[in-house]
Amino acid sequence: MKRVVLLLLSLALLLSVVGCAGDSGDQIDTSNYPSKPVEIIVAYKAGGGTDVGARILASEAEKNFGQPLVIINREGSDGELGYTELAQSKPDGYTIGFINLPTFVSLTLERDTKYAIDDVVPILNHVYDAGVLVVQASSEIETLEDFIEYAKANPGDLTISNNGTGASNHIGAAHFEYEAGIEVTHVPFGGSTDMLAALRGGHVDATVAKISEVAALVNSGELRILASFTEERLENFPDVPTMKEKGFDILFGSARALVAPKGTPQEIIDYIHDKFKEAIDSPEHMEKAKNADLPIMYMSPEELAEYIKNEEIYLKEISTFLDLSN
C-alpha cells in the first residue's frame, strides 16, 4: 500500500515538474524561425493588467505564429527582475517580453538597475493607457477648477493616492501639482488596486489613475474624472476636458510594448512584428481588448524607439524640478 502514497505523491511531483520545464536555445538560426515555442516574459503578476494585455495579444498572435507563445510571469522589484532577465536573454528570437513605460525607463533613473534601456530593441507598442485625475462622484469637487481652488485655499489638505512612491501615477500627480502651483499630499499605496480602494472608501480625496483602471467605475457612477492627461479628449469620455485645454501642458500615461533582447536578428524582429501587428488589427483582438478596457495604440518600431527616448528625456527633465521623495 506504500504504492498508493508513492503514486499520489509522485503524481504531484510530476505536475510540478511539468510546470517548470524550460528549454535552452541552440545556435541563432533565422532560416527556419520559429522552430520551437517562443517565451514571452511579463515582468508582472499573472492576472495583473500587464499580464492580461499580454495574454490577450499572445493568444491572438499564436493563431498564425507557427509555434506556441508561452507567457512567463517574472514579477518582482517593480518589474526589474523580469526586465533584467529579458535583457540578459539569448537574442535568438525565442525570448521576447513586454515592458511598461515609463516604469522601464524610470527604474534606471531611480536605482542602479542590472539592465540598461538600450539592452532591448523595440518591436511594437500594444497598449497606451492614458492618465486621468479622478474623485468620488459624490465629491464636492466638480471640476478641475474646484480642485485647484480648494487646494490653493487649503494647502496640503487634499490627499491624492498613487500606486507607489516614484511610480507612474505619482509622477503624473506631482507634475500636475507643480504646473498648477498647488500643494497636495501624496499618499503611496502598494499598487493600483489599493490606491483605488482608498479613493472608493473615501480615505483620500483624489487619485491619479489610468483610464482602464477606472473606466468601469466611472461608468457605474461611482467615480468622476476631472481631467485627462492627454493631447486630445478621450474617445469614450468626450465631456472630460484635457489638462492641456485647462492650460497645463502635461501628457502622461503608460504604454505597454513588446521588445526583444538587443542583438536579435532583424529578420526575426520583422517576423515577430508582422505577426503581432496582424494580431493587433484582428477584430477578435479588438473585441477582447475592448472587453478588458485595454486602450490599444499601435506604434511601429521606429515610433516606439522615439517614444522611449522622449520618455527618458521627460523623466530626466522633471526630476530636476519635482521632488518625488514624497
Partner 1 sequence: MENILLGFANAFKFVNLVAAFLSVAVGIVIGSLPGLSAAMGVALLIPITFGMPAETALIALAGVYCGAMYGGSISAILLHTPGTSSAAATAIDGYQMTLKGQAGKALATATIASFIGGILSSVALYTLSPPLASLALKFGPAEYFWLSIFGLTIIAGVSAKSMLKGLISGALGLVLSTIGMDPMLGIPRFTFGNNGLLQGLPFTATLIGLFSMSQVLLLAEKKIKDLKGSREVKDKVYLSKDEIKRITPVSLWSAIIGIVVGILPGAGGTIASFIGYNEAKRFTKDKEAFGTGIIEGVAGPEAANNAVTGGSLIPTLTLGIPGNSVTAILLGGLVIQGLRPGPDLFTIHGKTTYTFFAGFVIVNILMLILGLFAVRLFAKVSKVSDAVLIPIIFALSVIGSYAISNNMLDVWVMFIFGIVGYFVKKFNLNSAAIVLALILGPIGETGLRRTLIMHKGNYMALFGSTISWVLIGISVLSLMTPVIMSIIEKKKSKAN
* Cα–Cα distance for residue pair 133/228, rounded to 1 Å: 6
Interface with partner 1 includes 51 (CB under 8 A)? Answer: yes
Exactly one of 63, 90, 109, 165 binds partner 1 (CB under 8 A); that residue is: 165
Least distance (Å) between residue 201 CB and partner 1: 4
Interface with partner 1 includes 153 (CB under 8 A)? Answer: no
Which residue number, 78 or 92, has a Cβ lying nearer to partner 1?
A: 78
C-alpha cell, 184: 497636495
Strands 38-42 and 69-73 turn out to be parallel
Stretch touching partner 1 by CB under 8 A, among 93-101, 120-128, 160-168, 301-309: 160-168
Least distance (Å) between residue 188 CB and partner 1: 6
Looking from the CA of 106 toward its CB, the CA atoms found within 13 Å total 24
C-alpha cell, 196: 483605488
Exactly one of 198, 218, 226, 240 binds partner 1 (CB under 8 A); that residue is: 198
Exactly one of 34, 37, 59, 77 binds partner 1 (CB under 8 A); that residue is: 77
Which residue number, 181 or 202, has a Cβ lying nearer to partner 1?
A: 202
Please state, in angstroms and as integers, the Cα–Cα distance from residue 261 to each residue in 3, 79, 258, following that order. Answer: 48, 16, 11
Which residue number, 44 or 176, has a Cβ lying nearer to partner 1?
A: 44
Query: Which of the residues 57 through 76 are near partner 1 (CB under 8 A)?
Result: 72, 74-76
Stretch touching partner 1 by CB under 8 A, among 58-66, 91-99, 122-130, 194-202: 194-202
Exactly one of 116, 143, 154, 156 binds partner 1 (CB under 8 A); that residue is: 156
What's the chain's Rg over C-alpha atoms?
22
Query: Which of the residues 82 through 111 are near partner 1 (CB under 8 A)?
Result: 84, 110
Least distance (Å) between residue 200 CB and partner 1: 5
Task: Tell which residue, 256, 285, 267, 257, has the closest CA to residue 49.
Answer: 256
Would you say 295 and 230 are in contact if contact means Cβ atoms under 8 Å apart? no
Is the torsion defined by CA of 142, 145, 146, 150 positive or negative? positive
Which residue number, 209 or 269, has a Cβ lying nearer to partner 1?
A: 209
Please state, in angstroms and as integers, the Cα–Cα distance from residue 284 to each residue in 56, 278, 287, 313, following that order. Answer: 10, 11, 5, 36
SS3 assignment, position 243 = coil
Least distance (Å) between residue 27 CB and partner 1: 24
Which residue number, 13 or 313, has a Cβ lying nearer to partner 1?
A: 13
* Cα–Cα distance for residue pair 310/93, rounded to 1 Å: 26
- Is 235 exposed, middle or buried (CB count within 10 Å of its CB: 0-12, 13-18, 19+)? exposed
* Cα–Cα distance for residue pair 57/296, rounded to 1 Å: 10
Would you say 295 and 212 are in contact if contact means Cβ atoms under 8 Å apart? yes
Exactly one of 36, 63, 90, 114 binds partner 1 (CB under 8 A); that residue is: 114
* Cα–Cα distance for residue pair 92/212, rounded to 1 Å: 34
Query: Which of the residues 120 through 149 are near partner 1 (CB under 8 A)?
Result: none
CA 79 to chain centre: 10
Least distance (Å) between residue 248 CB and partner 1: 25
Which residue number, 185 or 300, has a Cβ lying nearer to partner 1?
A: 185
Residues that bind partner 1 (CB under 8 A): 1-2, 4-6, 8-13, 15-17, 19-20, 22, 45-48, 51, 72, 74-78, 80-81, 84, 110, 114, 156, 159, 164-166, 185-190, 193, 197-198, 200-204, 325-326
